């Protein structure tokens, strides 16, 4: 573990130190074992792909190329609709669960342009450290994509970035490259490993990254971050272990981490289907005492009113519509 941390620190220091000094930095991407460490930061990059799904195309995706000014219009993008940008986490892809569950929930509504980001080639198991480093490139390119979307009629106040795990931090890191604040970010159990101890605020999701940042905690303290992170945080079922997740410790953790996306997807489909009640900012909760506080309840997820803040506790039943394997 100590070695891994040392390697991470070297990567991070190297990347930050030479930021303004690009000519000194090796421009060759580094391949080691099964891992891929990007050192060449030019966008667009073929390892970071953008797709659009619309109510008309359904589950058929269309690739968006920001070098082509017509690319959005030809793909069926409708500027009158709201936009969501969905970013997967470590060892994920845009075309696998739980991202497809989110996509399908938005498709069901029919009022969104659904953009998904695929950075699967830069985040393979077990290459967590290079994934962390590569997030900087993904954020840089996604900021460029975001600007492209705004240039072509997208409305910032109607655009939400939804990220799972490391993807949540990427939603936040996009801000490092924008001059105008994003409107809304939903962080689905933002990744904790190493980020909690070693990443500064430019390297993680914070509430400075958008006017409204919502966090849904489902594996707090292990794969997910603890306590209050955003303007409004929901600590679900005690925040750590989700009902229906069975098996070995690591499987329970991964399954619970994954459920954040399913809970959110449910609220996208069914308005106000999950309700949170005020409680203190600690998450995870100790087994018995969730420290409920007086005050009004609020819907979690898609319909949380803009401007709501605080920490809320949620209790849900077992989800049968959230396949995890
Ligand atoms: C694309 O659109 C932008 C903004 O509308 C414009 O500045 C740029 O020149 C266009 N590029 C091409 C290749 O048409
Ligand atoms: C990583 O992704 C691959 C391909 O989807 C999958 O087979 C594997 O189980 C995943 N590994 C972990 C640890 O999540």
Q: Is the CB of 95 under 6 A from ligand 2?
A: no
Tokens describing residue 226 = 């603890």
In order along its 325 residues, the chain shows pLDDT tens digits of: 444 554 555 455 444 433 434 443 445 667 777 788 988 889 999 999 999 999 999 999 999 999 999 999 899 999 999 999 999 999 999 999 999 999 999 999 999 999 999 999 999 999 999 999 999 999 999 999 999 999 999 999 999 999 999 999 999 999 999 999 999 999 999 999 999 888 888 899 999 999 999 999 999 999 999 999 999 999 999 999 999 898 999 999 999 999 999 999 999 999 999 999 999 999 999 878 899 999 999 999 999 999 899 999 999 976 666 776 5
Write the CATH number for 161: 3.40.50.1820
**Structural domains counted in the chain:** 1
Q: Is residue 14 part of a domain?
A: no
125 lines ligand 2 (CB under 6 A): yes
> Is residue 175 in a domain?
yes
Q: Is residue 267 part of a domain?
A: yes
264 located within any domain: yes
Residue closest via CA to ligand 1's atom 14 equals 69
Q: Within a domain: residue 27?
A: no
Distance (Å, whole) CA 90 – CA 223: 11
Per the CB < 8 A criterion, the answer to whether 227 and 214 are in contact is no
H-only helix segments in 152-228: 166-173, 195-198
Q: Would 164 be classed as within a structural domain?
A: yes
The answer to whether residue 273 is domain-embedded is: yes
- This prediction's pTM: 0.90
Backbone angles phi, psi at 143, to 5 degrees: -65, -40
pLDDT at 197: 86
Q: Which residue shows structure tokens 């030479």?
A: 18
Q: Which domain holds residue 110?
A: 43-314
Q: Whose CA is nearest to atom 14 of ligand 2?
A: 91
Q: Are strands 232-236 and 182-188 parallel, antiparallel or unpaired?
A: unpaired
Q: Is residue 25 classed exposed, middle or buried when 0-12, 13-18 and 19+ CB atoms within 10 A define those classes?
A: middle
228 in a structural domain: yes
Ligand 2 atom at shortest distance from the alpha carbon of 126: 13
Strand-pair category, 275-278 with 298-299: antiparallel
Contact in structure between 92 and 64 (CB atoms under 8 Å): no
Which string of b and e fits 239-261 if b means at least 16 CB within 10 Å? bbbbebbeeeeeebbbbbbbbbb
Distances (CA, A) of 93 to 27, 40, 265: 26, 22, 17
């Amino acid at each position: 573990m100590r070695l891994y941390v040392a390697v991470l620190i070297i990567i991070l220091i190297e990347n930050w130190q030479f930021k303004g000094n690009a000519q000194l930095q090796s421009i060759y991407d580094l391949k080691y074992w099964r891992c891929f460490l990007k050192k060449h930061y030019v966008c667009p990059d073929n390892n970071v792909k953008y797709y659009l799904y619309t109510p008309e195309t359904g589950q058929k995706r269309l690739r968006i190329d920001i070098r082509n000014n017509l690319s959005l219009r030809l793909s069926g993008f409708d500027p009158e609709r709201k936009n969501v940008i969905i970013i997967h986490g470590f060892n994920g892809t845009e075309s696998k669960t739980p991202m497809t569950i989110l996509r399908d929930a938005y498709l069901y509504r029919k009022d969104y342009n659904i953009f998904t980001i695929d950075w699967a080639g830069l985040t393979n198991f077990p290459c967590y450290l290079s994934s962390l480093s590569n997030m900087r490139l993904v954020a840089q390119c996604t900021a460029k994509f975001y600007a492209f979307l705004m240039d072509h009629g997208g409305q910032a106040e109607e655009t939400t970035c939804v990220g799972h795990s490391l993807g949540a931090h990427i939603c936040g890191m996009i801000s490092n490259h924008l001059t105008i604040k994003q409107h809304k970010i939903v962080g689905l159990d933002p990744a904790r490993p190493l980020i909690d101890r070693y990443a500064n605020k430019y390297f993680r999701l914070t509430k400075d990254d958008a006017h409204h940042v919502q966090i849904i905690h489902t594996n707090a303290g292990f794969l997910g971050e603890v306590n209050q992170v955003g303007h409004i945080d929901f600590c679900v079922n005690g925040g750590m272990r989700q009902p229906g997740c069975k098996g070995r410790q690591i499987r329970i953790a991964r399954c619970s981490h994954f459920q954040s996306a399913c809970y959110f997807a449910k609220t996208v489909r069914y308005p106000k289907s999950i309700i949170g009640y005020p409680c203190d900012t600690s998450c995870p909760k100790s087994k018995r005492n969730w420290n409920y506080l007086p005050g009004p309840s609020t819907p979690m997820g898609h319909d949380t009113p803009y401007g709501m803040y605080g920490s809320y506790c949620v209790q849900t039943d077992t989800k049968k519509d959230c396949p995890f394997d």
